[in-house]
A and B are shown apart, each in its own frame.
Chain A
Amino acid sequence: MSLPGSLAEPADVLANPVSLELRSALEILLAEARRRGLPVMCVARPEMFTHGMAEAWFRARVSPLAQHVCLSDGSSVKHLPGLPTHVFFYGLMFRDAVAALRRLSRRAPELMINLGSQVNSCLTLGRAPCRVRPEPVLLSRTTALRVPPPLLLPFFLNRDSAEDSANRVQQAGPVAAESLLGFSRMLYVPLTETALDDGAFGHAVTELILQTFFDPTTLLVLKCPAACQVEPSLTHGIATLLAAVRKSSVMLPRSSPPNILFAASDLEEDHVIFDRFPFCLVVHDSFDFWRHTKGFYARAQEVTVLARQGSATEEFNVAAIYGPNAVRRWVVDPADHG
């Protein structure tokens, strides 16, 4: 990242090719700060300002600041001396980030003790006897991310090979959103690595795919899960889905129905496909809801949040996040029941 120094304006950070997740998280915080009339400064490498002269140098330059929000990918949580620290884990849709955070909690169980709050997560952090759950604070985007519509690709799964599946999907070529006709509704399921690692969600999604095979009036769009710090890859996305399908006891037909599609990246509310059909959204309870505006969810006829009982976000009020059309549906992993 190219910055003018260890202290930078948010615009300096956003001028860099940062990930969509980090960009989105920063924009959410900026919007919230604007709403509260607070100035914002970005600090690169806060770990440098441990104490003494280094801390004094830092303080002399940020003296109006009163709060510190650590934007974390899960691999570390950094504090700034003398400032209350809050944390925003912006990468929890990625398997690597979740694993990194789990390792961090194990390795430095006391690191999270003094966190003031956690933005857009509801995690219990650390390890007994230092387990804490910083107060969750829910913040959403106020404006949609401006990204081009994703490639829509035909669905095909060869149960034995993600590579072959991806090759066949790519050979078939993209499907134009404008060419999609005759569906009474669209189901959009943004898949993530974290969601598919939950066997209960994977099973529910596999069942949903199977049902859609036999329901030609419904268009099912599955967003391929991306990997952390890697260019989005169809093979990776299909491999992640395939692993969940295999784990499930459900068998899917080996064919490519016209009403099931892959989306190579996220759909956003200004994409034309949402104007064509009434749509419903199906998400895992770990879904990074904060990457869409409340307006996006309001357009959905229904938002179904799939969760297993006892999950970290169980006490989240889904209506507060996704609006009045949201329902939580409990799902179970058949593997848990022998």
Chain B
Amino acid sequence: MNYLSARPKVTLDVTPLMETHWTGIPVFTRRLAQALLWHGGVDLEFMIHLTRVPTDAVTAAINAGTGVFLRESFESQTGLGWVVADRMGCLLYPSVKTGFAVAEREASTVHDLSTLFMPEAHEESNIAYHLDRMALELATNDVVFCISEATRAALLSAFPSVTGKTRQLFQYVDWPANFHLMERNLPPLRLGPYAVVVGTIEPRKNLRLLLNALSTPELQRSPLRFVVIGRKGWKVDQFMEALPAEACDRLLFSGFVSEFTKYRLIKGSEFLIFPSVYEGFGIPALEAMALGKPVLSSWSSSLPEVVGDAGVYFDPLSVTDFAAAFSTIAHPRKLAELAVVAAARSAMFTWQRMAAPVAEWAGS
């Protein structure tokens, strides 16, 4: 506790915000920082590599939506201007912990255990980054935040000793309010009816299921095209080369796009397809639901927990099950029915809900 303040001090590691393009962990970090700032229940400071960073530098980066300036600013420091993060109080990492037992109380955030349970979907360097010091990280943590119940269950199956330390840290979606106005001033997208897939294209995301299903009668009868939004991930070039020509006609790969373009593409879609075989949370599902889009989702890990009744589910390893679920969700009446549920369910994931467990931990 800071003696000058009634509020407990929390120092948040914002190192992920130094990325130029924010997806995944940087977006999570940004949302967490915002949630804690809005909440106001903690005396919040920021750090990068255990060095204190001015709050205005972080909020400027958040407003800019990129870490370019924050990174340049940080890297241009001589070491005289900024000081080491405060050892007193709570040190919170939004992802993997990079300093051990340096503060009075420490917490880190576990996003998923795919490096442990799906090592074949990762490069060894990534596995080492996530797992080599995980036991030490958990042991030196006061609290371990898990971004879903699925992640918590997976974590406890591998590290039962942390049972009493885990807390959930659910994300929220915050599409900028001006996106709606910006979109209204643009001509409509001319893509025809389509469903959208969001996420880095990599084996774990299981896009191959959709490709294999294209030849099923259910999908052949459908007029829908499929827009795939996301940067190319590991092994994607081999994957793309293997695509049959007929698949290319119904697929549109957008590559990495701005948040606004992603918003437009999701908003213009009929529904989101989430074929992933493993997720820590599945934020694209929540992003789509916030725009009233139902989710055709796999029965996997965290996805049912996020999507709830706002989707139709399938076995991610079964083409026939996927095709049947596709038929169900593509029906206009079903879409309309689920759209209402989707919007309502997404509203359950709020910044208050994200900030509360951190404030509770810091104040305990």
Contacts and interface: CB of A to CB of B under 8 A. Distances in A.
Interface of A: 3-7, 44-45, 47-54, 57-58, 75-76, 78-79, 81, 100, 107-111, 113-114, 127, 130
Contact of B321 (A5, A109, A130): A5
Contacts of A44: 317
Nearest to A7: B315
A76 B154 contact: no
Interface in B148-179: 149-151, 153-154, 157-161
B216 to A, nearest CB: 13
A104 B113 CA distance: 13
Contact of A54 (B132, B160, B299): B299
A57 B301 CA distance: 11
Contacts of B15: none
B305 A53 contact: yes
Contacts of B160: 110, 113-114
Interface residues of B, number: 38
B213 interface: no
A5 B301 contact: no
Contact of B317 (A3, A79, A81, A108): A3
A48 B116 contact: no
Contact of B304 (A4, A5, A52): A52
Given A47-B301, A48-B301, A107-B116, A54 B150 contact: yes
Interface stretch (B26-34, B69-77, B86-94, B117-125): B117-125
B278 A45 contact: yes
B150 A108 contact: no
Contacts of B278: 45, 47-48
B161 A76 contact: no
Given A54-B301, A79-B157, A107 B317 contact: no
Contacts of B119: 75-76, 100
A5 B317 contact: yes
A57 B305 CA distance: 13
Interface of B: 113-114, 116-120, 131-132, 134-135, 149-151, 153-154, 157-161, 277-278, 298-305, 313, 315-318, 320-321
B301 A107 contact: no
A111 B115 CA distance: 14
Nearest to B303: A54
A228 B104 CA distance: 46
Contact of B153 (A51, A53, A78): A51
A155 to B, nearest CB: 36
B184 to A, nearest CB: 37
Q: Give the residue among A57, A58, A114 with the most B Cβ atoms within 10 A.
A: A57
Contacts of B114: 47
B257 to A, nearest CB: 29
Contacts of B157: 50, 79, 81, 111
Contact of B299 (A57, A107, A111, A114): A57
B154 A50 contact: yes
A111 B154 CA distance: 11
A50 B150 contact: yes
Contacts of A107: 116, 131-132, 134-135
A111 B158 contact: yes
A107 B132 CA distance: 5
A6 B278 CA distance: 13
Contacts of A49: 299
Contact of B154 (A3, A47, A127): A47
Contact of A108 (B118, B149, B159): B159
17 contacts: A3-B317, A45-B316, A47-B114, A47-B118, A48-B301, A50-B149, A50-B151, A51-B153, A53-B299, A54-B303, A54-B304, A57-B304, A79-B157, A100-B119, A108-B131, A110-B159, A111-B159
B313 A57 contact: yes
A81 B158 CA distance: 12
A52 B305 contact: yes
Nearest to A46: B117
Nearest to B131: A107
A314 B313 CA distance: 50
B149 A78 contact: no
A143 B248 CA distance: 48
A110 B158 contact: yes
Given A52-B304, A110-B159, A76 B117 contact: yes
Nearest to A112: B158
A100 B131 CA distance: 13
